[in-house]
Structure formats: structure tokens, C-alpha cells
């Protein structure tokens, strides 16, 4: 099944998708999570529930109870994905590479910003944007594998398995991303009771996206306190034992295929490995646990990734 990145690449005009490699490195969800194409924006996903004891041996001409796996219909709702943008035509005309390149730059920036928000929506869901789709945190139940104690501001590390019976993104309207022709408009804002105007060029880019969680068993979560270099015992904050404990709670049919964590969690895990290294040599950046790959993502940064621009200046206040 295609990943979200593959789907977007196939379904988009060349002018939309020019995703830099470093962006997919920062947001690996685009390459990891499989994508389902569905005709509507609301649908029922058919999920087979694994059961024990189906089938068996029998003597000739002796009957046996036939297997009848449970099929559960789970509702999935796609929400409007909006990558629309507009730009000041005066600024475009002043761009040294020309107007068209300026609009291409704005288009790419808008799309990447929207995709990063979709990646955060996967985990945080309605806590990230109440107008978006429900995320994995809204699917956590008493049966979900979990380790640690959830406290305000704590880090979240997720173990997940992607695919139709597990977790995946769903793209409604047959996965079509609608791109309307560029249009001219006039931006108006009122300052001191007077209308201030400038001309813009804009573009409407819409699609429908949702998250399909087949079962609360198809992912797990590890909570741990946020860690910094000031902590004296990083091994007590987050370590491999916690992740192995998390793995031990999964049903055999739902064994995860990836861990997702923030840079802070990866740093804490690395520090704990360094602390237990007999040679004392610094451990490498963690890339796997029990053979399961680790993806470090900006989506799990508490409060969202921090972005600075060259013209940012200190204001004398602490954010």
C-alpha cells in the first residue's frame, strides 16, 4: 500500500509537490504511514479482530465448528485539508528570480506548513486542532499498551504498526487534491478606521484527510518526564527497559513496526545508553530497539517545533 508521500506525489501536479529531503526527515510520518484512498469523506472501515482457537483437527466425516472471525465496522471521518495561500503581487514583482518563482516558493511553503500540521494531528488530534481529525491520543483506552505516568508537559513516545487493520491515513474523494487556477484578489485591512489595501495572487488547494485507527491495540505509548542535560540521572527518565516493557504488552498480531519520538526523547535514550556503556564511550543516536526502527520527528515536540528567522531579535522577554 502506498505511503502518504507516494500518494501525494502521484496525485499532485508538479507545481505543488517539491518536498525537500530534509522535510521528510523531520516529519517521517509522511513516508511511514500507509494511505488509504476512499470515495467518500465519511466511511466505515472493516476491521478483522483476531481471535484464538479457530479451526482445528477432526476425524473423517466428523464435523467441526468453522472459523468465523469478528469483523468490526469502525467509522472514519475525513476533515478538510487546506493548503490555500495568497501573496502580495508587489513583493512577487520585486523577487530577484521573478514572479513565477516567488509564487512557487509561497506554494511550497504553504504546502509544507500544512503537511507538518497533518503530521502533528496524527498524534495530538483534537488537542492540536479541534477542527481536524481525531488523533492517536484520542484513541488511547484502558486496553492500550502503555508505560510510565502521564503528567503535564511530559514526553510521549509511540510504538505503532501501520496498515489497514492498524493505523493509517485515509484520503477521501478518491485521494484527489483539488487545485483551482490562480486568482487575483485585493486584501483589505482596517487600521484606525481607514481601509488599507494591496493586490494579491492566490491559489486554492483542498483535500480530505482522516486517521483510521483499527484498534487501540495497534499502538502503544510511553510517557516520561522531559529531559535536558541538567538532569543527573537520565537513565531514570527514559531507557530501553521502558520500551521493552511496552513491547511485552502488545498482542502478537499487533506487534509494532516503528517507534516515534521527539529529539528530547532520543537524547534521553542516548544518555541512558551512554550511562550503561561499560567503556563510558558516548552512545550513538538511537536508531532502533529490538530491531524495530526509531523515527525522530518534530511532530512530537511539545508545543510544536521552534522556528527562527534571520531577522528575529530578542525582545527581552521569555517566551
* Alpha carbon distance 267, 183 (integer Å): 47
Window from 16-25, 156-165, 204-213 with minimum mean pLDDT: 16-25
* Alpha carbon distance 111, 107 (integer Å): 6
Residue scoring higher pLDDT (220 or 53): 220
The predicted-structure confidence for 130-142, as pLDDT tens digits, reads as follows: 999 999 999 999 9
Return the pLDDT at 309.
41
* Alpha carbon distance 27, 115 (integer Å): 9
Grid coordinates 550503561 are at which residue? 276
Burial grade of 283 (CB within 10 A; 0-12, 13-18, 19 or more):
middle
Return the pLDDT at 313.
42
Window from 198-212, 241-255, 300-314 with minimum mean pLDDT: 300-314
* Alpha carbon distance 15, 105 (integer Å): 10
Return the pLDDT at 310.
42
Helix axes 263-275, 240-248, angle to 10 degrees: 110
Confidence of residue 190 (pLDDT cuts 50, 70, 90): confident
User: Phi, psi (5° rounding) for residue 269?
Assistant: -65, -40
Average pLDDT of the residues in 55-82 = 82
Check whether 237 has a pLDDT greater than 50: yes
Write out the H or E segment, with its range, that includes residue 268.
Answer: helix 263-275
User: Phi, psi (5° rounding) for residue 287?
Assistant: -125, -5
Residue scoring higher pLDDT (56 or 77): 77
Average pLDDT of the residues in 72-84 = 87
The predicted-structure confidence for 9-52, as pLDDT tens digits, reads as follows: 766 544 455 677 788 889 999 999 998 888 888 888 877 665 55
- Please tell me whether residue 313 adopts helix, strand or coil conformation: coil
The predicted-structure confidence for 96-129, as pLDDT tens digits, reads as follows: 999 999 998 888 888 888 889 999 999 999 999 9
Check whether 315 has a pLDDT greater than 60: no
- Please tell me whether residue 131 adopts helix, strand or coil conformation: coil
The pTM of this model reads 0.84
Return the pLDDT at 175.
81
Closest CA to 34 of 129, 161, 121, 182: 161
Amino acid at each position: 500500500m502506498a505511503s502518504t508521500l507516494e500518494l501525494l506525489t502521484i496525485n499532485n501536479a508538479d507545481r505543488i509537490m517539491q518536498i525537500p529531503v530534509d522535510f521528510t526527515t523531520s516529519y517521517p510520518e509522511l513516508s511511514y504511514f500507509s494511505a488509504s484512498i476512499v470515495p467518500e469523506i465519511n466511511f466505515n472501515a472493516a476491521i478483522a479482530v483476531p481471535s484464538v482457537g479457530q479451526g482445528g483437527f477432526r476425524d473423517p466425516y466428523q464435523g467441526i465448528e468453522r472459523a468465523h472471525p469478528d469483523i468490526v465496522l469502525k467509522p472514519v471521518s475525513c476533515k478538510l485539508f487546506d493548503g490555500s495561500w495568497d501573496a502580495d503581487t508587489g513583493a512577487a514583482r520585486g523577487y530577484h528570480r521573478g514572479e513565477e518563482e516567488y509564487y512557487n516558493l509561497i506554494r511550497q511553503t504553504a504546502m509544507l506548513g500544512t503537511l507538518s500540521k497533518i503530521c502533528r494531528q496524527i498524534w495530538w488530534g483534537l488537542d492540536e486542532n479541534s477542527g481536524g481529525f481525531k488523533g492517536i491520543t484520542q484513541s488511547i483506552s484502558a486496553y492500550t499498551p502503555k508505560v510510565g505516568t502521564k503528567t503535564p508537559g511530559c514526553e510521549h513516545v509511540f510504538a505503532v504498526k501501520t496498515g489497514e487493520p492498524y493505523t493509517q491515513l485515509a484520503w477521501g474523494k478518491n485521494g484527489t487534491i483539488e487545485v483551482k487556477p490562480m486568482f487575483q484578489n485585493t486584501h483589505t485591512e482596517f487600521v484606525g478606521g481607514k481601509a488599507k489595501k494591496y493586490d494579491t495572487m492566490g491559489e486554492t488547494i483542498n483535500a480530505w484527510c482522516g486517521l483510521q485507527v483499527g484498534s487501540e491495540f495497534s499502538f502503544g505509548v510511553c510517557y516520561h518526564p522531559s529531559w535536558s542535560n541538567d538532569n543527573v540521572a537520565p537513565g531514570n527518565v527514559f531507557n530501553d527497559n521502558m520500551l521493552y516493557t511496552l513491547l511485552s504488552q502488545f498482542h502478537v498480531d499487533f506487534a509494532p513496526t516503528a517507534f516515534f519520538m521527539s529529539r528530547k526523547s532520543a537524547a534521553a535514550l542516548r544518555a541512558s545508553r551512554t550511562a550503561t556503556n561499560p567503556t563510558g564511550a558516548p552512545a550513538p543516536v538511537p536508531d532502533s530497539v529490538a530491531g524495530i526502527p526509531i523515527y525522530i520527528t518534530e511532530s512530537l515536540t511539545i508545543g510544536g517545533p521552534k522556528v527562527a528567522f534571520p531577522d528575529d531579535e530578542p525582545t527581552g522577554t521569555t517566551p
